């Protein structure tokens, strides 16, 4: 089974661009970077020449001897059975973090041989580059992020009719109940498997929930091995402790990151490198508090107050040892963490849209708005309720204080516009920017 990824469309546009630069594909392990490069090559090129610098150590010597692209290409041709032809061959550099020379060569492909299509990726690329003191040729590569499968992509695979219905929305009228019901079911299934491609394929091929659990646990185990392999001896236990504290951090009513939950007596300066490691590995997102919703939002962030989310809701669920049956049944004890999991899924969706950088807002322990977004010149508060119950005063407090053009409440209630409040089903978060556009700009 193949899951169609929207990133393919971005890569197609890159292929046809006149100002093309080599691509550096970044993202967490197991998000499908190698697969997407190969699939793109199969769909859009006559040939795919793939070079793995971790498997074939001799490749590194090519780049140590010369910076001349013609000579590099002649020597690379000795390691592949396909012709390397400009415009017809996709050149893949996989595990490029194993070769500083290959990473640097992207600059010369950009400057001296832009007619060739080159795409590079690597495991824990950000971490490896920092550890080895390597430098990315800034301005000479196009950095593209490979994120987990979105709910939008998941829905297209499992229920194409519902996907096309949602994709075609041009008003903020309530959805038919059958559509809302289908969205709720598929969103629950997405919360179970998350966006890791192998877990989704395992679920959709009906191999059983235990197989899905095993896939997710294997990914978590791989991450733990990465901590030991790529981190310093001092940071290994701190990274482990931070990563394993995520469920506890997010289960609190106030999800602000607290160091003493990681370890009693822990201090910020002891864990800053560990947090940065997890960020560079693509495993977490840090969302900062803002003192007020001014333009630009980044000017008002408080770097000492932040929330930490996992890169994937399925991995977070498995890390928390939350049974899939609880999500499907809606167990009465599944309350605080239900909100945490929904919030994590929403954050995953937001970061895929328009290079969004969400923040959150709080006011003297009286109110907290889950996310605040800058959409063009407007600042929009977003509140998340994990089911149909929508009690809470935070959004009202924010509205009274700042009078935003629109407020958004994500819940499991139907789509509705009421004055300047948009009520939106959580599964539609992947379409949120379009929905806001319909309200604000009628587009």
In-domain check, residue 206: yes
Q: How confident is the model at residue 442 (pLDDT cuts 50, 70, 90)?
A: low
* CA R_g for the chain: 23
Q: How confident is the model at residue 399 (pLDDT cuts 50, 70, 90)?
A: very high
What is the chain's mean pLDDT, rounded? 94
| In the predicted structure, residue 298 carries a pLDDT above the cut 80 | yes
User: Among 44-58, 123-137, 316-330, which is the least confidently predicted range?
Assistant: 123-137
For residue 298, being part of any structural domain is answered with yes
User: Do 188 and 110 belong together in one domain?
Assistant: no
Number of alpha carbons in the 13 Å side-chain half-sphere of residue 378: 16
Q: Is the pLDDT of residue 395 over 60?
A: yes
**Residue that is last in its domain, among 145, 170, 189:** 145
Both 175 and 320 in one domain: the answer is: yes
SS3 22: coil
Residue 416 to residue 414: CA distance in whole angstroms: 6
Looking at the fold, whether 221 and 235 belong to one and the same domain comes out as yes
Residue 2 domain-assigned (yes or no):
no
Q: Within this chain, do residues 336 and 299 fall inside the same structural domain, yes or no?
A: yes
Residue at 1 is within a domain: no
Residue 204 falls inside a structural domain: yes
For 63, 91, 421, the CA distances from 172, given in Å and listed in that order, are: 56, 45, 11
Looking at the fold, whether 159 and 136 belong to one and the same domain comes out as: no
- Tens of pLDDT along 67-110? 999 999 999 999 999 999 999 999 999 999 999 999 999 999 99
Together in a domain, 91 and 212: no
Q: What mean pLDDT do residues 151-175 have?
A: 97
Q: Tell me: do 348 and 213 sit in the same domain.
A: yes
| DSSP H stretches of helix in 159-293 | 160-167, 177-193, 197-204, 209-230, 235-251, 259-262, 268-280
CB of 436 closer than 8 Å to CB of 374: no
User: Does 40 reside within a domain?
Assistant: yes
Could you give the CA distance from residue 214 to residue 318 in angstroms, rounded to a whole number?
Answer: 10
* Residue 111 backbone phi and psi in degrees, to 5: -80, -40
Residue pointed to by tokens 């041709």? 77
Domain count for the chain, please give it: 2
Distance CA(428)–CA(339), nearest Å, equals 16
Residue 314, C-beta contacts closer than 8 angstroms, at least 6 positions apart: 190, 191, 192, 193, 194, 195, 196, 199, 216
- The pLDDT assigned to 129 comes to 81
Mean pLDDT of 298-315: 96
Which residues have C-beta within 8 Å of that of residue 248, sequence separation ≥ 6? 261
What tokens does 121 get?
A: 């990726």
Above pLDDT 90, what percent of the chain? 86
Question: Phi and psi at residue 316, in whole multiples of 5°?
Answer: -60, -45
Same domain (yes/no): 140, 177 = no
Rounded Cα distance between 354 and 433, Å, is: 8
Domain that holds residue 34: 7-145
Edge-to-edge, what's the strand order for the sheet holding 367-375?
301-310, 284-290, 359-363, 367-375, 378-384, 407-411, 421-425, 416-418
Q: 137 and 161: one domain?
A: no
Inform me whether the pLDDT recorded for 303 exceeds 90: yes
CA dist 79 → 39, 52, 108, 385 (Å):
21, 10, 20, 55
Of 128, 145, 162, which one is at a domain's C-terminal end? 145
User: Does residue 236 register a pLDDT over 80?
Assistant: yes
């Amino acid at each position: 089974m193949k899951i169609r990824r929207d990133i393919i469309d971005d890569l197609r546009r890159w292929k046809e661009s006149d100002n093309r630069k080599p691509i550096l594909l970044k993202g967490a392990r197991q998000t499908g970077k190698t697969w997407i490069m190969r699939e793109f090559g199969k769909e859009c090129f006559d040939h795919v020449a793939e070079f793995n610098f971790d498997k074939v150590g001799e490749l590194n010597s090519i780049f140590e001897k010369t910076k001349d692209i013609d000579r590099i290409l002649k020597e690379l041709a000795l390691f592949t059975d396909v012709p390397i032809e400009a415009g017809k061959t996709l050149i893949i550099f996989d595990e490029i973090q194993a070769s500083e020379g290959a990473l640097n060569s992207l600059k010369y492909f950009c400057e001296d041989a832009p007619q060739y299509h080159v795409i590079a990726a690597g495991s824990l690329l950000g971490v490896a580059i920092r550890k080895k003191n390597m430098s990315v040729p800034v301005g000479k590569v196009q950095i593209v992020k490979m994120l987990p499968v979105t709910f939008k992509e998941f829905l297209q695979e499992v229920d194409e009719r519902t996907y096309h219905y949602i994709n075609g929305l041009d008003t903020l009228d309530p959805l038919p109940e059958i559509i809302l019901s289908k969205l709720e079911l598929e969103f629950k299934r997405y919360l179970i498997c998350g966006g890791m491609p192998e877990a989704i394929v395992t679920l959709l091929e009906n191999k059983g929930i235990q197989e899905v659990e095993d896939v997710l646990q294997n990914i978590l185990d791989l991450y733990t091995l990465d901590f030991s392999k790529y981190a310093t001896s001092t940071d290994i236990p701190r990274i482990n402790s931070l990563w394993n504290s995520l469920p506890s951090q997010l289960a609190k009513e106030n999800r602000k990151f607290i160091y003493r939950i990681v370890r009693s007596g822990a201090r910020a300066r002891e864990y800053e490198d560990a947090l940065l490691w997890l960020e560079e590995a693509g495993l977490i997102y840090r969302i900062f508090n803002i003192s007020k919703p001014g333009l630009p939002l980044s000017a008002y962030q408080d770097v000492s107050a932040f929330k930490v989310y996992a890169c994937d809701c399925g991995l977070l669920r498995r890390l928390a040892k939350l049974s899939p049956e609880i999500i499907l049944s809606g167990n009465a004890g599944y309350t605080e963490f239900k909100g945490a999991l929904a919030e994590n899924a929403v954050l995953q969706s937001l970061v895929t849209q328009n290079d969004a950088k969400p923040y959150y807002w709080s006011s003297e322990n009286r109110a907290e708005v889950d996310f605040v977004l800058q959409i063009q010149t407007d600042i929009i508060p977003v509140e998340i309720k994990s089911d149909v119950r929508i009690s809470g005063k935070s959004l009202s407090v924010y509205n009274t204080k700042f009078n935003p053009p629109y407020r958004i409440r994500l819940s499991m209630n139907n789509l509705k516009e009421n004055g300047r409040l948009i009520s939106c089903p959580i599964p539609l978060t992947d379409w949120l920017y379009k929905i806001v556009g319909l309200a604000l700009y009628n587009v």
